[in-house]
Structure 1
Amino acid sequence: MNSKKTILVAPLHWGLGHATRCIPIIRELLKNNYNVFLASDGGALLLLRKEFPELPYVSLPSYNITYPKKGAFFKLKLMLKAPYIQKIITSEKKVIEELVSEGKIHGIISDNRWGVRSKNIPSVIITHQLNVLSGSTSYVSSKMHQKLIKKFDACWVPDLEDSINLSGKLGHFKDALSVPFPVIYIGLLSRMKKKKLPIVYDVLCLLSGPEPQRTVLEEQLLSVFKNSEKKILLVQGIVEDVKKEKQIGNIKVINFLKSDDLEQAINESTYIVSRSGYTTIMDLAAMEKKAFFIPTPGQFEQVYLAKRLKQAGFVPSCKQHKFKIEKLDKISFYKGLKDFNSQPDFKNLFRFFESE
């Protein structure tokens, strides 16, 4: 294997999920004798730089995606931002072409960043959304998404191909014969490992995702848990230069945790309360945890995933404004995220970068 090849890894900054699921890929690239070049923006880039301080990086222009206070307006807000997003994609392409022409990178792994690709070097897109749910416009948004995926040389879906899978109709086509481009199901991407550790916390509240909904949920959870007897750890999901901790009654609040510390906290907690973001679901499945999901209002994908896992008997969930402490009693009636663990064959996947 050519040890001199450098692979650019570029996750979308939309919450921290895309960045965190790139961590196992980066670790494996380094293990398999590749150099890695990081590219992202905001908290996602800061998180990767904290995990891999020795790696070179480039800042990409930001998509600046936020959720409106009222979830119902989310789709409208995204549609209004479409011209701005197109501009960002064009700017990303310029940055990438410069890196390619200077010979700094020899392959690309883009996690949902549409401008991060090049016709001159092997370019992979990672996405669990072969279909994009947007309510009444799902057909149109899915076709637009598939058109963008086609521009890459390969599409890696972090899920299982079989009927027992995590992403459902998001990551699977109804008719296997009508797949518009080659898809490789790579198994679950998680930086987490299950360990038997003594339980320290009754509940771990894991926050993530764009503002203002991240703060809305944080305030609600603090209010719900402040008078309970339970021992609570709340991780805000705000990546900052310095780790900050405070105690609010029975609740320990931490701004962010690096991978190893978060893995420990999840293993030390009986239950997890979090958004039903796909990366969080993969992490909890890798650790076979019991959880309660509160999907982001107006985020069709999270609402769908929470509903699907609830109906299948894996994880209970409810709307944000309906969450109260009694809801946790429902967790024991669900089996938790078991039966899904499947590790990617990275050695085989990385052969893609060796083909001339």
Structure 2
Amino acid sequence: MSNTILVAPLNWGLGHATRCIPIIQELQKNGFNPIIASDGVALALLKKEFPDLVALELPSYNIEYAKKGGNFKWKLINNSPKTIKSIISENKLINKWVKEYDLCGVISDNRLGLFTKKVPAVFITHQLKVLSGQTTWFTSFIHSIIIKKYKECWVPDAESTPNLSGKLGHLENSSLNIKYLGVLSRLNYKKVKKKYDVMVLLSGPEPQRTMLEEKLLVEFNDYPKKVVFIKGKVEADQKKEKIGNITVYNYMQSAELEKTINESEMVLSRSGYTTVMDLAKLKKKAFFIPTPGQFEQEYLAIQLSKDGLVPTALQDNFSINDLESVSLFGGLPEIKTTVNWGELFGLFKSERKL
């Protein structure tokens, strides 16, 4: 029997790739041989984290944000012909790679075309309900059709309350084969001496990532406290510069990022779900600025604010004075969950259909 499993996250910011890191590590602990596959910054990040693993390139979904949040959905629709072409291409590739790389399974984090009947294929998502405004019923329906093409659907969250994804990751009635992974993070809490007052942690597709970066560098220009600023730009080499009280990095790998978040009093970031999980694991106070027009991030930010956990502001409205409200909120809850990875990975020990 083969023990090789393809792990392939969507290249939409860094969140899908980073939450695959603990899964890859658990596969290695359980005697499997992971192969990584993606495109763009997601693939670049995984290659830096796992330089010894085989890395394959998948077609890009050509995901871009609009400069105005209100145009976000229409930008995705305009890009959809290219995206559909990429999904069809990756489906052809996975059926080819099963034989070429002797795969015994596939783990796809939100890549829609990596289903195959030849080996068990798993789909990872925290969005069983895909929010899109008035078309939520339609996007959720289409998403469920795609998920059903996979053997199982793994949701990175607690199955019961308290949980972090709310209505995104929990359906009242579902025919999907769902398994909950618990809160999934590559990072661990450590009690260390505080070094920074604020960490700015950026990610996400352009042009919104750059737009927020430029806005925040201006806002923090005269900030008197110590700030560490992570741009979320995965490049060939790490770069570091000082701008007044701000220490700026283009990116950090997991170990350094874990250390730096633990050393920071609070984190200012997007409200991407993987970031929410990471900060909950690290018991961190936070302030969220959702990506304009991205319904999922807006829902998470508003819900966590309503629950008195994390304050939020729209990107255009944010000012540095808003950070004063962080002390009035409780911070993200620590949700302790355990996963029987050996049992979960047992799916991949079934016979292949070559």
TM-score, scaled to structure 2 = 0.97
Whole-Å separation in 2 of the counterparts to 1:66 and 1:104: 34
* 1:61 and 2:59 correspond: yes
2:313 alignment partner, one of 315, 318, 321: 318
The one-letter amino acid of 2:201's match is L
Residue of structure 2 in register with 1:97 after alignment? 95
Amino acid at match of 1:143: F
Aligned to 1:246: 241
Which amino acid counterpart does residue 237 of structure 1 have in structure 2?
G
- Could you tell me which residue of structure 1 aligns to residue 283 of structure 2? 288
Please give the root-mean-square deviation of Cα atoms over the aligned residues, in Å.
Answer: 1.0
Q: CA shift at 1:127, angstroms?
A: 0.2
1:163 paired residue among 141, 161, 177: 161
Distance 2:270 2:32 in 1: 34
- Residues in 1 aligned to 2:185 and 2:325: alpha-carbon distance in whole angstroms: 26
What SS does the aligned partner of 1:322 have? coil
CA contact (8 A) 2:281 2:334 kept: no
In structure 2, what is the Cα distance between the partners aligned to 1:89 and 1:64?
11
SS of the counterpart of 2:19?
A: helix
Distance 1:144 1:83 in 2: 16
Q: Which residue of 1 is the match for residue 185 of structure 2?
A: 190
User: Aligned equivalents of 1:314 and 1:325: distance in 2?
Assistant: 19
2:30 to 10, 29, 32: 32
**Native 8 Å contact 1:13 1:40 kept in 2:** yes
Amino acid paired to 1:29? L
Amino acid at match of 2:109: D
What is the distance in 1 between the residues matched to 2:290 and 2:225? 23
Supply the AA of the counterpart residue of 2:14. L
Q: Distance in 1 between matches of 2:329 and 2:339?
A: 27
1:111 alignment partner in structure 2: 109
Deviates more, 1:297-306 or 1:325-334: 325-334
* Whole-angstrom CA distance in 2 between matches of 1:258 and 1:163: 32
Q: Secondary structure at the match of 2:22?
A: helix
1:348 positional shift: 1.9
Letter in 2 for 1:93: N
CA distance in 1, matches of 2:276, 2:101: 37
Contact persistence 1:225–1:325 (CA under 8 A)? yes
* Counterpart contact for 2:201–2:268, Cα < 8 Å: yes
2:197 and 2:226 in contact (8 A); partners too: yes
Following TM superposition, by how much is the alpha carbon of 1:123 offset from its aligned partner in structure 2, in angstroms? 0.2
Unaligned ranges ≥5, structure 1:
none
Following superposition, the deviation at residue 354 of structure 1 comes to 1.6
1:181 partnered with 2:173: no
Cα distance in 1, alignment partners of residues 276 and 10 from structure 2: 18
Match of 2:337 in 1: 342
Distance 1:344 1:327 in 2: 38
1:230 alignment partner in structure 2: 225
State which of 263, 274, 277 in structure 1 corresponds to 2:258.
263
**What amino acid is aligned across from residue 287 of structure 1 in structure 2?**
L
1:96–1:118 contact (8 Å) kept in structure 2: yes
Q: Distance in 1 between matches of 2:23 and 2:101?
A: 22
Partner AA of 2:186 in structure 1? R
Structure 2 letter corresponding to 1:321: D
- The answer to whether the 8 A contact 1:285-1:341 is kept is no
Please give the secondary structure, in 2, of the residue aligned with 1:253: strand
Q: Secondary structure at the match of 1:270?
A: strand
Which string of whole-angstrom CA distances, capped at 9 and with x for unpartnered residues, describes residues 158-197 of structure 1?
0011131111111111x2xx21211111101100000011
What secondary structure sits across from 1:209 in the alignment?
Answer: coil
Whole-Å Cα distance in 2 between the matches of residues 285 and 301 of structure 1?
A: 18
C-alpha contact (below 8 Å) 2:104/2:349 kept by paired residues: no
One-letter identity of the residue aligned with 1:264: K
Task: Using the TM superposition, give the Cα deviation of residue 335 of structure 1 relative to its aligned residue in structure 2, in angstroms.
Answer: 1.0
Deviation at residue 103 of structure 1 after TM alignment: 4.7
Percentage of identical aligned residues: 54
Give the superposition deviation at 1:345: 2.5
Structure 1 Cα separation of the partners of residues 30 and 99 of structure 2:
25
Structure 2 CA distance, aligned partners of 1:86 and 1:191?
Answer: 31
Equivalent position SS for 2:78: helix
What is the TM-score normalised by the length of structure 1? 0.97
1:35-46 correspondence to structure 2 within 5 Å: 35-46=33-44
